[in-house]
């Protein structure tokens, strides 16, 4: 299986020796602290697309919106044209979370915690592409990638910083608000159409901030949200431990995320539980489309079978490739799929919502041409993800696509 890597999407700038030294140290620390929950989210691609320059936020400093290390956050903006000149697609980059001072400190020495390591230019593939063959419905929209450098799905609050005394900045919510205001001043305030999307931790952030996005665009604009690989399950691991729930508890406690979560949910249960979309997706007022695998590879490797739950290595092959699973392990994976079906059961009845739930062993599918829209893309009922999202967004037809259980879909790449 090809492991998704955002870095393969990006073209690097030239670095001084000190940059390379810092990057090397950051890499070692990151592997040590973040290997269990690190979440690279964009698969590598083979077809070139347009390069889009980085812009550091011009309003972030006055707003106190900083990356983990105190550097300025940034985004990449590709201007729309023609019929898409007043349409905006905002993509929130993913990349896991940090739940301890140590892991956040390590993250602050990488591009997932500091703009000092951001690339000057990145490629825009899949739903971000300006190629009408790769991205038929949104190719000429204004397209933006907001870089992820806070470690809490754009939801941390500075009030939590006094706990650490290490100089880390927990400003994810302020980053989101500052860049939103900047984009509004760049023309998004006149938008006729808008989509907030994101992948993995960015897909979760999309759901968390969906209504905020809707409320800050014109009332007559057609605004919707597309979450890709962001429906993380509140499920026990194979040893019966609440590994993901405990992890989210640490993220929320460390970075003060509770203020950004659905307050109706927070009023009823422990705040970190409200990080799980199944607890709040039905409270979102804005139409939402879910793109998710029923056998999400990242969740299988980190939620269902984390390394801590596989000390005897009996899952070593299966957790990395679904083709290597024996009958007993497949029964467990089918149970995981059933948990997802239960979690989206009520959402399935939402007339305004849409979904594309396939049976591929993969994580994040909207940001590469091979899975978003190509002759060999994954299909359900002969529809690619791009066609499905387009049909839903433009109200061409309702889209509630749920694949049959693995291994029934021959169009799956993995």
Identify the three-state secondary structure at position 327: helix
Q: What is the DSSP string of 310-325?
A: -TT-TTTTTTT-GGG-
Is 238 part of any domain? yes
> Residue 319 is part of a domain; what is its CATH number?
3.40.50
| Domain extent for 196 | 6-402
Collapsing DSSP to helix, strand or coil, 397 comes out as: coil
- Stated as kind and residue range, the H or E segment containing 86 is none
Spatial CA neighbour of 253 closest among 268, 277, 270: 270
Q: What is the pTM of this model?
A: 0.89
Provide the 3-class DSSP secondary structure of residue 354: strand
Does some domain include residue 414?
no
Nearest to 413, CA basis, from 367, 381, 366, 365: 365
200 has catalytic annotation: yes
In 260-353 the beta strands, taken as DSSP E runs, fall at 288-293
Residue 298 in domain: yes
Count of CB atoms within 10 A of residue 411's CB? 15
- Kind of pairing, strands 400-402 and 354-358? parallel
Residue 86 within a domain: yes
Of residues 91, 209, 363, 373, which has the active-site annotation? 363
User: Residue 411 falls within a domain, yes or no?
Assistant: no
Tell me the angle at which helices 172-185 and 201-215 cross, rounded to the nearest 10 degrees.
50
- What is the rounded distance in angstroms from the CA atom of residue 154 to the CA atom of residue 82? 31
Q: Is residue 143 within 8 Å of 63, Cβ to Cβ?
A: no
To the query of whether residue 413 is one of the catalytic residues in this protein, the response is: no
Q: Is position 410 within any domain?
A: no
Going through 150-210 in order, the beta strands assigned E by DSSP cover: 193-199
The pLDDT tens digits along the chain (414 residues) read 333 333 333 333 334 444 444 444 444 344 333 334 444 333 333 344 579 999 999 999 999 999 999 999 999 999 999 999 999 999 999 999 999 999 999 999 999 999 999 999 999 999 999 999 999 999 999 999 999 999 999 999 998 887 656 789 999 999 999 999 999 999 999 999 999 999 999 999 999 999 999 999 999 999 999 999 999 999 999 999 999 999 999 999 999 999 999 999 999 999 999 999 999 999 999 999 999 999 999 999 999 999 999 999 999 999 999 999 999 999 999 999 999 999 999 999 999 999 999 999 999 999 998 999 999 999 999 999 999 999 999 999 999 999 999 999 999 976
First to last CA, the chain: 6
Does 408 fall in a domain? Answer: no
Note whether residue 413 is domain-resident.
no
Given the residues 296, 297, 358, 359, the one annotated as active site: 296
Catalytic residue (one of 87, 200, 227, 359) = 200
Q: How many separate domains does the chain show?
A: 1
């Amino acid at each position: 299986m090809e492991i998704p890597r955002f870095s393969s999407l990006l073209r690097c700038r030239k670095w001084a020796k000190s940059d390379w030294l810092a990057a090397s140290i950051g890499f070692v620390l990151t592997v040590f602290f973040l290997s269990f929950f690190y979440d690279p989210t964009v698969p590598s691609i083979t077809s070139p697309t347009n390069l889009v320059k980085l812009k550091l936020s011009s309003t972030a400093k006055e707003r106190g919106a900083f990356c983990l290390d105190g550097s300025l956050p940034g985004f990449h903006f590709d201007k729309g044209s023609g019929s898409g000149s007043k349409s905006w697609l905002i993509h929130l980059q993913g990349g896991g979370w940090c739940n301890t001072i140590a892991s956040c400190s390590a993250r602050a020495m990488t591009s997932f915690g500091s703009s000092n390591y951001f690339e000057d230019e990145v490629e825009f593939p899949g739903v971000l592409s300006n190629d009408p063959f790769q991205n038929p419905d949104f190719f000429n929209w204004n397209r933006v990638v907001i870089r992820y450098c806070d470690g809490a799905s754009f939801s941390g609050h500075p009030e939590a910083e006094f706990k650490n005394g290490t100089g880390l900045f927990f400003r994810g919510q302020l980053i989101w608000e500052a860049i939103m205001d900047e984009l509004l001043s760049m023309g998004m305030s006149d938008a006729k159409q808008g989509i907030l999307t994101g992948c993995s931790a960015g897909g979760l952030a999309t759901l968390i901030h969906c209504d905020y996005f809707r409320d800050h665009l014109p009332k007559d604009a057609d605004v919707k949200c597309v979450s890709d690989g962001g429906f993380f399950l509140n499920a026990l691991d194979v040893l019966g431990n609440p590994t993901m729930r405990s992890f989210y508890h640490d993220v929320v406690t460390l970075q003060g995320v509770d203020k950004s979560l659905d307050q109706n949910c927070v009023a009823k249960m422990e705040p970190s539980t409200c990080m799980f979309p199944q607890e709040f997706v039905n409270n979102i007022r804005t139409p939402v489309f879910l793109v998710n695998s029923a056998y999400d590879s990242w969740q299988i490797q980190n939620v269902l079978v984390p390394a801590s739950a596989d000390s005897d290595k009996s899952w070593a092959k299966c957790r990395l490739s679904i083709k290597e699973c024996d009958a007993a392990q497949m029964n467990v994976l089918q149970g995981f799929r059933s948990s997802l079906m239960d979690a989206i059961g009520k959402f399935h009845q939402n007339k305004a919502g849409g979904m594309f739930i396939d049976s591929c062993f993969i994580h994040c599918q909207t940001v590469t041409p091979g899975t978003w829209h190509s002759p060999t893309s994954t299909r359900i009922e002969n529809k690619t993800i791009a066609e499905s999202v387009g049909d839903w967004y433009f109200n061409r037809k309702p889209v509630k696509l749920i694949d049959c259980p693995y291994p029934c879909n021959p169009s799956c790449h993995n």
